[in-house]
Amino acid sequence: MNVMVTGASGFIGKHVVEAMSTEPAVDNIFALYRNKEQIAFLPKVNPVIGDLDSLPSIKVDARIDIIVHLAGYYKTETKKLCEKINVDGTKNTVSFCRENNIPRIIFFSTINVNLKTKGCYAASKEKAEEIVRNSGIEYMIVRPSLVYAGRAGSLGRIIGYAEKFPILPIFGSGKAKEQPIHINELVDLTLMMIKDFKPGAEIYAAGRDAMPFSALVRTIGTCIGKKVRIMPIPAKPVYWLVKLAEKAGIHPGLSSEQIAHMSQDLTADMTETLKLYPIELKPFEENIKSDLKGKR
């Protein structure tokens, strides 16, 4: 089986490409990189230099059985970039599939599409889902929750803050629930989807434990041997201040959607996912301890 991956140099993409490089069911990996410095020199990896803008004009001189579309933009709340990368980039990925006769696509969306108060990121991913559904290509859509791996990403920053400070300020009451998934669990799920593709399936990818944000912080504190408390900050006034700043073209590093995220439950019923793909989901605390001890 030959697999194409967009977003191959991203946080999830790096782990997916590495796992596929040792997967017997995968013969070749065609990985999209913006420049040569990003290339992962791993078995089976065939680098494709380009980006989502140039993708429709790229011809791959090989059969590709499935594309895993991971490339996306989420860092700041700019409508222009969200539309360009998440919406137009998905259109270009679909065009690439048509030009290269790729019959199947696995599209990575986000659990944020369930937010009651959607920002540009969630709205653009929702549009991208519809593009994939209407593409005429066999598809699967997966909506990951917060993905973590030790000190990487947003949870990694929380670990760093918890190590330095006894009190963490958070927006909202701390009662909103998160259901983070470890990168290894998400990679296991991705490999299963590639090997056992379920046309038309739309599934969630969330961890075993759904917990209030305050409990998540306390668990991190337990794992690093510190008692950590949270200091709730009213979310609504901050949300509207950030929203006004975004409209003025100012991006303070924390988007209005991220603040909304902290104030609303973002959990998923994993019954259907686990029925299709029985991956092992470990307790959050066990995963964090293993990461911090370097056992992975």
Quote the CA–CA distance of 127 and 76 in Å, as a whole number.
18
pLDDT tens for residues 123-145?
999 999 999 999 999 999 999 99
d(CA 106, CA 203) in angstroms, rounded, equals 11
User: What is the per-residue DSSP string for 148-183?
Assistant: EBTTBHHHHHHHHHHHH-SEEEEEB-S-SEE--EEH
Question: Does 76 have pLDDT greater than 70?
Answer: no
264 pLDDT band (50/70/90 cuts)? confident
Mean pLDDT of 79-100: 94
Domains identified in the chain, total number: 1
pLDDT tops 90 at residue 69: yes
Report the pLDDT averaged over residues 136-155.
Answer: 92
If you average pLDDT over residues 259-281, what whole number do you get? 91
Residue 242 has pLDDT above 80, yes or no: yes
Per-residue pLDDT band for 236 (boundaries 50, 70, 90) equals confident
Distance CA 229, CA 141 (A): 37
Interval 183-210: pLDDT, tens:
999 999 999 999 999 999 999 999 999 9
Give the residue from 89, 82, 103 showing the smallest Cα distance to 4: 103
Q: What pLDDT does residue 75 have?
A: 67
Q: Residue 68: give its domain's CATH number.
A: 3.40.50.720
Mean pLDDT of the chain: 91
Closest among 108, 111, 213, 203 to 155, alpha carbons compared:
213
Q: Model pTM?
A: 0.91
Q: Which residue has the higher pLDDT, 250 or 282?
A: 282
pLDDT at 77: 62
Structural domain that includes position 58: 2-292
